[in-house]
Structure 1
Amino acid sequence: MSLRSVVFAMILLTVAIFFPYSFIATAFSIQDYMLDRGAIFIVQLFSTYLAWLAFKRSKSRSFKLFWQYLLFALITVCISNLLFNDDVHKLFNDFITLFTYFFILLAVESNPHLSNVPESKFINGRMPSLFFALVSFSYFILLPAQFSPEVYASGKPTKVFDILICALITYRLVICLIDSKSTFWRGFYSPLVISSFVLTIENINALGVINNTPLIAKGYINQLLDLLPYFFLAISSCIALNNKKTIPVTEKSNIPELYILLLLILPASFHLYGIEQAQFFIINSRLQSVVVLSWACVCAVLMTISLLNKRSKSHHQQRSLMRIQQQIDDLKNTNDSLKSAILNSESIAIVNASNNAILTTSINGEILSANPAAVQMFQSLEHELKGTSVNQLFAQKDEMHFFFDYQSNVYSLQRKELGISVECMSLRSDGTEFPAQAELQWAERADKPLIVLTFINLSARKLAEKQALESKDKFIANISHEFRTPLTIINGIIDKHIDQAIDDREKDDLTTAKRNGLRLVRMVEQLLELSRITDNPQLSLNTYRLKSLMTMPVDSFCQLALQSKLTFSSNIPDNLWLECDAQAFEKIIFNLLANAIKYTPKGGIVQVNAYAEQETIIIDIIDSGIGISKSSQDTIFERFQRADDVENQATFGVGIGLSLVNELVKAHNWRITLVSEYGHGSKFSLSLPIANALATEHQLAVSLSENEVSSLLIEQHSTKQEIEKDHQQQVVLVIEDNLDMQSHIKQVIEQQHHCILAGSGEHGLTLAQEYIPDLIVCDLMLTGIDGFEVLTELKNNDITAHIPVILLTARSDLESRLQGLNLNADEYLSKPFNQNELLIRIQNLINNRIQLQGRYLAQFTEEQKAEKHFACQENANRLSTSDSNQLNAEEKFLTKLENLIAKHYAEQELDITFLANNLAMSERQLQRKIKVILGTTPNNFIKEFRIKKAKQMLSNGSQIGRIALDVGFSSQTYFGRCFKEVTGQTPKQFQQEITK
């Protein structure tokens, strides 16, 4: 049966009810109430039939139970409507109504939308609802019927009971509707909610009829109210019948405690209200109070049972979770056992079909098995490999030869989930060595663990790399030799001119050139040494005392560290001996110490510590410098590799020194390691075997460190400059961290201007705010903040925003130039630069600044601008509403200055100190800024402002005697003198001329 058919049938029945008075009652002389009962009875039978169909077709147990209880309720209503609908059987009708409510509450509390299986626990809502209905029936019907028959006969208590129970049913249906999570249940419960709500309204209206205050008058509307509950019930039945899909359910645990508390409050509230207001349902007996108290006890018991059930359920769930966790642990153990079984299976651990050579060994390095690829690679049969030590597969000088000799290496492999991969030199049984990549992995087994080694032959790749590297080394060696001749000639000529230099300035220039020439020579020597060590590492080995070898490098670099304002310390014991090539060892220490000092900022610490550990000497070179990032540490010892960190870009280097160190360490069969954290320093550790002490120490060769350190020593340059106030030249601030480049730029600029030097971006910003220079030349790559950040800080600061900036850098790519220009850089000059070009660009910017000063002065001397200056409050109001974004930094500053003077020009305290305090500047900064922008002093600007204001007052006819005080002059005499200096006339002469 479709929903459309049901609606049509219900409409026909409604129409039939609407004509009892007009046609049927007249034609057949049937009483109205009989016709009403007959029509409603037909509707009830129709609804009962639909409920029976829904009961028969329901597949869900809880849904079937819902229709079963609802069917019982409808059958009870139909029987009561046929047999007992008069006042004689009133009490019996009330009992029938009670049972009807019982069935409806049982249907609602079955909660078919929450589960397919009905709840077996009685405390979930059924018992509280049934007890509440029974208590309400006793309170409102039984007791009044026994002790107040007249009140009971009026029907009021019955209607109050009906209203209370119908409201409870409506509430429970609304809760079910809210809990519904699917469209079907929302559509199913919505008509039921309307039905119960209409039934509640009908009972309220009936109570109003008894009290002669009905909500709705008798007639067709009342008959329609009698019909609507069954109409909407039929709609819900059709929705259930027309559903062809599986009815969705939502598992949800009820919380009956709040519901029981609500049911407890209602009777108590009614009882207290009835006693207070002397309502009709209150009888002259204490039994009603006994009923309420008994209900309170029942609610307490029900709530206790509910809490105990919930606690029991929680414990049950915990036990279930524990069982599930135990099952998971068992499965995990089973999985581990299966993995162990797989690893223990040699046929699985050694993949016979693999193209790579695979070996399994014990943790001591004993070979357990080998696959065919390994047999072919090492040219030995499997039974020949089994039982031998894996160390025999590696060359004696390779680091993998020592892997199994140190238990810590095995423990380290055990902790690494992905294993260890290294490149090594493998040794075949015929004595042939070949490069291979060995991947070591830890395999846990039930009896004992093993190590799986996978070998990948790298002979072809290494050969190609070697050829490419040899070609590169040959080219570098050849070109390095070509560099040596011109460098030797240049340095020789410089030495000759140093001896012949007359003045100190010329000698300083030649010394700087000599120092950089030695630096180039050292770089060329390192390239040649690197090429020689790679091709033919011939060493002259002798036994030396470690402290003797370290004396010259430590003393030399101690002087360099002191000059660089670093804390240098060393701890070299006397009883440590080693076998080495003295010059090679000195080169290793030289490069490590040079890097430590180079990359450690002022105030840092450099330490050299040596100590013995078992049979090994450990030399640690520790610094608190900028550190090396994790990504750069893997390649830091490769040729021509430098850290890509931003901080490191400011320090010159091509990555030769550490590559030479690495090659010299390998030539001695030593080991060097690096531990570093970016921004927190580095530690290079050199490990070398201890040698036996000698009675007589070998004579040390001529030390190279002293000459090489001399090329690193730099003279101190003081950046602290004193600026003469009456200096006629312009002041230029140079921000450059390379001291030699500082000196060079200073010599160029001081041909025409005064120069201040700053060694870092931070120091440059401090000097810029302190001295307010006329122009700034800033290097792009600086230690700390770079040139872009310095430029941004300068342009965003009101004090320094007007200063022109020239960016000077070796980075001449378009992207860097555009970035600098976008940050309002006035010029961008690339290194190497032409001296004349730098001076011309500086002079052009200064000339432009002078022209700008003239434009500002002309602008402020115009009469129209003067009027704007002197209109104090109007000018401030107009400027406050203008678009300040249209003004540049200088115009904003002048506007702020103008507003401040216009507001306080009449005060005698207005001076440079007052202006500086209100503009958040020092007097020196304000003096320089106004001088640069307007070409005048603050006091002159204030005086001219007051004179112009006085001229305006004189033009308006004001008294000369009052004008001096009105515009802020301390006396009339001083005012007259200043007025004549500016205008060439006395105030009286000016006023007379204006009057004429």
Structure 2
Amino acid sequence: MKRLTGKMMIAWIDRLLADPRLKPEALLRKRWTWLYMIVNFIGLTCMTILGFVWEIWPILWFGYALMISQIIAIPLFRISKRFDLVLNISYGIIVILAFAVMLQTGGLTTSMGFVFIGINCAMGSVLAGNLRWTIGMFALYCTTIIILGLLQPYLVTPDYITPEVNSFYFVTDAVWVNACVLFLVILFMKDKSQYEKSEAEKLRKIDEAKTQLYTNVSHEFRTPLTIISGIADQMDQNKNNWLQSGPHKIKVQSQILLRLVNQMLDISKIEAGSMQLNLIHGDIKKFLQYVLGTFNSLAEYRTIELEININNDALYADYDPEKLMHVLGNLISNSLKFTAPGGKINVRVLEDTNRDQEMVRIFVRDNGKGIPQSAIGHIFDRFYQVPDEYHQIHGTGLGLTLTKELIKLMKGDIIVKSTVGVGTEFIISLPITREARKEKDHGVSKLHSDLIHTIIPITKRTRDHKINPKISLEKPILLIVEDHKDVVEYLIAILEDYYIIEVAQNGKLGLEKTLEIIPDVILSDVMMPEMDGFEMIRHIKNDLRTDHIPIVVLTAKGDFQSKLSGLEIGADHYLVKPFSEKELLLKLNNLLEARHKMQKKLGSISSLSHQGNAHYKQEMLFMNRINTLLDKELQNENFGIKDICMHLNMSRPQLYRKFSALTDNSIGRYIRSYRLHRAKEMIEGQNKNVTEAAMDSGFKNLSHFSTIFQEEFGYSPSKLL
């Protein structure tokens, strides 16, 4: 409780002394000195009260003067940025006043301990952290002592300074000064420990940031490397199939890797101060129209409307074409990344002449998912990722950092406004100068094709994979949930000989398609728009209709925590890109083999005690629900598939697909077999005759019962009697 009260007191003091103009270390010193001043003020007040009680009237003026000076100094200290100046001036006044009192009382030997007040003030000045003022304070104090020593033979001790009063004040002042020094030492040691912990925490965060960087970079590299490696293998195995599209896809992914490397190198150059502006003078509006036009094909590919509002009035200014291209490339790419298909991105360019400095303003607005208010202040921090439900990684966290650094290099500014669910707007402000060499083509020639491709990967449309709607009895159905079309095309190439392939572009569509077709196995990415892979898996595993479906996660997120999260949610396997084609085929095949073993166990009615099988807990719960329904309605010959669907809240196709996946049997055949096995048990164990057993198991037609009993067991029911 005491510790909590102390923390609350310190927190209150920090709020009281808060000053955005001061750095954290200065604020810490301000707290020390303010507390020291308060303790001194309390001591001075007690001494003044004691003088009043003892009726030492000639020196009460000193106590009143000190209290007045501190009453003025303490509030001024709180609001002043130069708190060290306030502290040292107020303490200098106290030293001079103490010197005057000691002259009045007869010198050092009869100073009533006021000699300690000066040293206390000198010690307090150390806290302010201003070396010159501290030296000056000690010099002032030493000067007063030296003068007193020189004047000692000429000073007279007043009658009211008795040995008893002098001794009492000496002891009191000595104890008070020692208490202040002890307070100072304890405060310093405690805050020094906290400061060291803070520094250790900073180092820990730096290490975490480095680890995060390696994780993010490896994540960003994995998907392009998966495609490059996979397509290279496919070209080696099936050269004719990949001769046209393969080289282009490899080139695009290589450009993405090059862009990531260039971002890291550019930030290093900026930090080292080696990056220079290469300014040209041209019509910045025409240049921006050209740059933004290169994004049209990418926006069209993602079915996002890119609206460019730039009037035809020329605006000549100095700018660096390459760096401005990088800035726009990062911002437009971000907007395309976080805007759903069917969304809109609007770019406006305006000239602002209402200020002392002419400015050109570029507005990039989208109606995407938006950024939480808590994250807006950090999005330009290096390696920062806007947190989401499952802490997905959406890049290296370098793009916006590089964007801001480049804009600062161009002496500009960038701000962001965003509302979650509404959209985000970036506003770039660049100063207009007219000093550089004029370029006829406004700097377009500076943007060679390789540079454009590293910023905007030129993506050709690939054919959409059309799925055969007919369900084959020979091949299992595999649902691929992946938003990267090149990865999908590669996966189809290696899996289509073994599976009927269905494709969904994100977790939301994957969940809908899972409920529609009840696939035999799912292969899913993690990081996807609208609904990520983890959330989709959680929905699938919590739904009675789909909880049996095995799921393989195929992702670039290879850190241990992500693997653990995926397996905890219910994924059966976790593969990291780039992956081995053979390993993927083997894992999928093993899952299907395990399903066949499960079908043999769950599909056999000869032994109805599957409850003890811990490997198929969820599957057994489903089978037990069906068996319970059949037992309850055993005598009702009209109870069938329609009634089971209604009780389980499933459609007929969903029930067929799930039941077939669990038992490799049809639900209709299972119902009939279940009734027959129950009838057999009645005849054998309950001593019922054939007619009673048939009626009690839902067969009203005795001849039909005998016929299908013969088909099921190979002998007639009468042989059991």
TM-score of the aligned structures, taking structure 2 as reference length? 0.59
Q: Post-superposition shift, 1:810?
A: 3.9
Return 5+ residue gaps in structure 2 as ranges. 1-70, 90-128, 134-205, 215-220
Aligned CA distance change for structure 1 residues 539 and 825 (closer, same or farther; 3 Å): closer
The residue number in structure 2 matching 1:602 is 341
Q: Post-superposition shift, 1:588?
A: 2.1
Aligned CA distance change for structure 1 residues 974 and 708 (closer, same or farther; 3 Å): farther
Task: Please state whether the residue corresponding to 1:802 is helix, strand or coil.
Answer: coil
State whether structure 2 residue 404 is matched by structure 1 residue 662. yes
The residue number in structure 1 matching 2:260 is 523
Aligned CA distance change for structure 1 residues 680 and 714 (closer, same or farther; 3 Å): farther
Q: Find the partner of 1:351 among 77, 85, 106.
A: 85
Q: How many Å separate the matches in 2 of 1:506 and 1:650?
A: 35
% of aligned pairs identical?
A: 27
Q: How many Å separate the matches in 2 of 1:886 and 1:708?
A: 50
Query: Per-residue displacement from partner, 1:960-985 (whole Å, max 9, x unpaired)?
Result: 7x987775568677656644543455
Q: Is the 8 A contact 1:501 1:507 kept in 2?
A: no
Q: How many Å separate the matches in 2 of 1:526 and 1:991?
A: 80
Q: How many Å separate the matches in 2 of 1:506 and 1:751?
A: 20
Aligned CA distance change for structure 1 residues 974 and 506 (closer, same or farther; 3 Å): farther
In structure 2, give the amino acid aligned to 1:592: L
Q: Is the 8 A contact 1:545 1:574 kept in 2?
A: no
Aligned CA distance change for structure 1 residues 888 and 508 (closer, same or farther; 3 Å): same
The residue number in structure 2 matching 1:800 is 546
The residue number in structure 1 matching 2:309 is 571
Q: Is the 8 A contact 1:552 1:706 kept in 2?
A: no
Q: Find the partner of 2:488 among 717, 742, 750.
A: 742
Query: Per-residue displacement from partner, 1:568-619 (whole Å, max 9, x unpaired)?
Result: 2121122233221233322222222112212323343321112233232211
Aligned CA distance change for structure 1 residues 347 and 992 (closer, same or farther; 3 Å): closer
Q: Is the 8 A contact 1:498 1:511 kept in 2?
A: no
Q: Post-superposition shift, 1:548?
A: 1.1
Q: How many Å separate the matches in 2 of 1:347 and 1:504?
A: 73
Q: Find the partner of 2:250 among 513, 522, 527.
A: 513
Q: How many Å separate the matches in 2 of 1:800 and 1:901?
A: 22
Q: Find the partner of 1:675 among 406, 417, 433.
A: 417
Q: Is the 8 A contact 1:774 1:804 kept in 2?
A: yes
In structure 2, give the amino acid aligned to 1:515: V
Q: Post-superposition shift, 1:543?
A: 3.1
Q: Post-superposition shift, 1:660?
A: 3.5
The residue number in structure 2 matching 1:261 is none
Q: Find the partner of 1:588 among 313, 317, 327.
A: 327
Query: Per-residue displacement from partner, 1:696-746 (whole Å, max 9, x unpaired)?
Result: 982233345753465153646758744432341122233334443333334
Task: Please state whether the residue corresponding to 2:430 is helix, strand or coil.
Answer: strand
Q: How many Å separate the matches in 1 of 2:666 and 2:286?
A: 67
Written as runs of structure 1 = structure 2, the 5 A alignment for 1:823-972 is: 823-858=569-604, 860-862=605-607, 865=608, 888-949=617-678, 951=680, 968=698
Q: How many Å separate the matches in 2 of 1:738 and 1:726?
A: 27
In structure 2, give the amino acid aligned to 1:731: I
Greater displacement, 526-535 / 341-350: 341-350
Q: How many Å separate the matches in 2 of 1:715 and 1:894?
A: 46
Q: Is the 8 A contact 2:414 2:429 kept in 1?
A: yes
The residue number in structure 2 matching 1:53 is none
Q: Is the 8 A contact 2:504 2:513 kept in 1?
A: yes
Aligned CA distance change for structure 1 residues 728 and 540 (closer, same or farther; 3 Å): same
Query: Per-residue displacement from partner, 1:314-337 (whole Å, max 9, x unpaired)?
Result: xxxxxxxxxxxxxxxxxxxxxxx9
The residue number in structure 1 matching 2:477 is 731
The residue number in structure 2 matching 1:684 is 426
Let me know the Cα RMSD of the aligned residues.
4.8
Aligned CA distance change for structure 1 residues 616 and 992 (closer, same or farther; 3 Å): closer
Task: Please state whether the residue corresponding to 1:711 is helix, strand or coil.
Answer: coil
Aligned CA distance change for structure 1 residues 785 and 338 (closer, same or farther; 3 Å): farther
In structure 2, give the amino acid aligned to 1:517: S
Query: Per-residue displacement from partner, 1:495-523 (whole Å, max 9, x unpaired)?
Result: 9x999986445544443322211212233
In structure 2, give the amino acid aligned to 1:711: P
Greater displacement, 731-740 / 812-821: 812-821
State whether structure 2 residue 364 is matched by structure 1 residue 621. yes
Q: How many Å separate the matches in 2 of 1:937 and 1:558?
A: 52
State whether structure 2 residue 388 is matched by structure 1 residue 646. yes
Q: How many Å separate the matches in 2 of 1:374 and 1:714?
A: 67
Aligned CA distance change for structure 1 residues 787 and 679 (closer, same or farther; 3 Å): same
In structure 2, give the amino acid aligned to 1:805: I
Task: Please state whether the residue corresponding to 1:688 is helix, strand or coil.
Answer: strand
Task: Please state whether the residue corresponding to 1:773 is helix, strand or coil.
Answer: coil
Task: Please state whether the residue corresponding to 1:861 is helix, strand or coil.
Answer: coil
Task: Please state whether the residue corresponding to 1:607 is helix, strand or coil.
Answer: strand
Task: Please state whether the residue corresponding to 1:685 is helix, strand or coil.
Answer: strand
Q: Find the partner of 2:283 among 545, 562, 566.
A: 545
Q: How many Å separate the matches in 2 of 1:952 and 1:647?
A: 53
Q: How many Å separate the matches in 1 of 2:399 and 2:541?
A: 40
Greater displacement, 923-932 / 618-627: 618-627
Q: How many Å separate the matches in 2 of 1:931 and 1:623?
A: 47
The residue number in structure 2 matching 1:982 is 712
Q: Is the 8 A contact 1:647 1:784 kept in 2?
A: no
Written as runs of structure 1 = structure 2, the 5 A alignment for 1:2-401 is: 351=85
The residue number in structure 2 matching 1:389 is none
Structure scoring higher RCO (CA < 8 A, sep ≥ 6) equals 2
Task: Please state whether the residue corresponding to 1:832 is helix, strand or coil.
Answer: coil
Return 5+ residue gaps in structure 1 as ranges. 1-336, 356-371, 377-467, 477-482, 870-881
Q: How many Å separate the matches in 1 of 2:79 and 2:606?
A: 100
Q: How many Å separate the matches in 2 of 1:731 and 1:795?
A: 18
Q: Is the 8 A contact 1:547 1:572 kept in 2?
A: yes
Q: Is the 8 A contact 1:588 1:661 kept in 2?
A: yes
Aligned CA distance change for structure 1 residues 621 and 710 (closer, same or farther; 3 Å): closer
Query: Per-residue displacement from partner, 1:533-556 (whole Å, max 9, x unpaired)?
Result: 664444443332233112222222
In structure 2, give the amino acid aligned to 1:567: E
Q: Post-superposition shift, 1:897?
A: 0.7
Aligned CA distance change for structure 1 residues 750 and 509 (closer, same or farther; 3 Å): farther
Q: How many Å separate the matches in 1 of 2:434 and 2:583?
A: 65
Aligned CA distance change for structure 1 residues 538 and 345 (closer, same or farther; 3 Å): closer
In structure 2, give the amino acid aligned to 1:522: R
Q: Is the 8 A contact 1:779 1:787 kept in 2?
A: yes
Query: Per-residue displacement from partner, 1:148-201 (whole Å, max 9, x unpaired)?
Result: xxxxxxxxxxxxxxxxxxxxxxxxxxxxxxxxxxxxxxxxxxxxxxxxxxxxxx
Task: Please state whether the residue corresponding to 2:281 is helix, strand or coil.
Answer: strand
Task: Please state whether the residue corresponding to 2:523 is helix, strand or coil.
Answer: strand
Q: How many Å separate the matches in 2 of 1:660 and 1:673?
A: 14
The alignment covers a number of residue pairs equal to 510
Q: How many Å separate the matches in 1 of 2:599 and 2:238?
A: 44
Q: Post-superposition shift, 1:776?
A: 2.4
Structure possessing the higher radius of gyration over alpha carbons: 1
Task: Please state whether the residue corresponding to 1:856 is helix, strand or coil.
Answer: helix
Aligned CA distance change for structure 1 residues 821 and 935 (closer, same or farther; 3 Å): same
Q: Post-superposition shift, 1:854?
A: 1.0
Aligned CA distance change for structure 1 residues 602 and 649 (closer, same or farther; 3 Å): farther
The residue number in structure 2 matching 1:764 is 510
